[in-house]
Amino acid sequence: MKIILANPRGFCAGVNMAIESLERALELFGTPLYVYHEIVHNRPVVERFRKRGVVFVDGIEEIPEGANVLYSAHGVAPAIRAASEARRLRAIDATCPLVTKVHLEAVRFAQQGYTILLIGHEGHDEVLGTMGEAPANIRLVQDVDEVERLEFPANARLAYLTQTTLSVDDAEVIIEALRRRYPQIAGPSREDICYATQNRQEAVKDLVPEADLVLVLGSQNSSNSMRLAELAQACGKRAYLIDGVREINNRWFEGVNTVLITAGASAPEEVVEECVAYLQEHFGATVESRTVREEHVSFPLARELRVLAG
């Protein structure tokens, strides 16, 4: 068996920043330290921090007054910030700057009188945060069928934004459908789907023709990880989205000569290494690392932590 290791894979700059911010906050403040929603959508990462005393909550009211809270990489709505202030929480904002960009675009379009069509997945933490910036002005659109059901007048003042972790191809289909129905629709100055999401999808597209099977390391609630598995399946290959080596089923590899391994932007490299080691041990696999695109992006720690560091 041969393993093709896709590059780039795994942690993106936003995830690195959020995790490093949480590590630094633990050093500075100790526990209990609260995080609003999962720091990133990855079960092994969340469990590792939970064992160290981090408390993940889905409601600000769950946090004692005056405590320390860190906002996850997915961003939060203004109402959450206001609720934190009302409870006198010390807030550390680890929102990915690329998500913040979408929030600012939503505010700008709303101030200019646009109705914003947000392309994304209902209930996703990032979508909830973005919609919270201008709830009266934003409507969620999840697919082309929903575009066809829109009932805005032909000359409506419309703009679109996208969740940062979508499939590039799927988002483009929806954007084209919007443009056909509403040619005047405005869009972001630069594409919203983040560089890391695009690069990981590009690597799978380029390398999947050589593979018999694809392993994607990532959690089921990770949008960008799910999109990688779906992309491989759309290319006609069997693909499995797993959190780690314990989920591997040896029957998957019957008759398989080449396995492509990648990881979503919130999946740590150690889970990739464990899977590679397992396939080497059980199937005598050799490893070939293939780089489709270089990444040299980094983001500084959350501003509140930089201030404390002085």
Amino acid at 150: L
Find the largest Cα–Cα distance for the chain: 63
- Tell me the pLDDT of the chain (310 aa) as tens digits: 999 999 999 999 999 999 999 999 999 999 999 999 999 999 999 999 999 999 999 999 999 999 999 999 999 999 999 999 999 999 999 999 999 999 999 999 999 999 999 999 999 999 999 999 999 999 999 999 999 999 999 999 999 999 999 999 999 999 999 999 999 999 998 889 999 999 999 999 999 999 999 999 999 999 999 999 999 999 999 999 999 999 999 999 999 999 999 999 999 999 999 999 999 999 999 999 999 999 999 999 999 999 886 6
Q: What is the pLDDT of residue 189?
A: 85
Read off the pTM: 0.93
Q: What is the pLDDT of residue 285?
A: 97
Whose structure tokens read 């082309």?
A: 144
User: Catalytic positions, please?
Assistant: 126
Q: What is the pLDDT of residue 310?
A: 60
What are 99-111's pLDDT values in tens digits?
A: 999 999 999 999 9
Quote the CA–CA distance of 294 and 110 in Å, as a whole number: 36
Quote the CA–CA distance of 135 and 152 in Å, as a whole number: 17
Q: Which domains does the chain have, with CATH numbers?
A: 2-11+195-291 (3.40.1010.20), 13-95+299-309 (3.40.50.11270), 98-181 (3.40.1010.20)
Q: What is the pLDDT of residue 309?
A: 66
Cα 206–Cα 210–Cα 213 angle in degrees, nearest 5 = 105
Contact at 8 Å (CB) between 98 and 129? no
Q: DSSP for 270-300?
A: HHHHHHHHHHHHHH--EEEEEESS------P
Whose structure tokens read 């392993």?
A: 215
What are 133-186's pLDDT values in tens digits?
A: 999 999 999 999 999 999 999 999 999 999 999 999 999 999 999 999 999 999
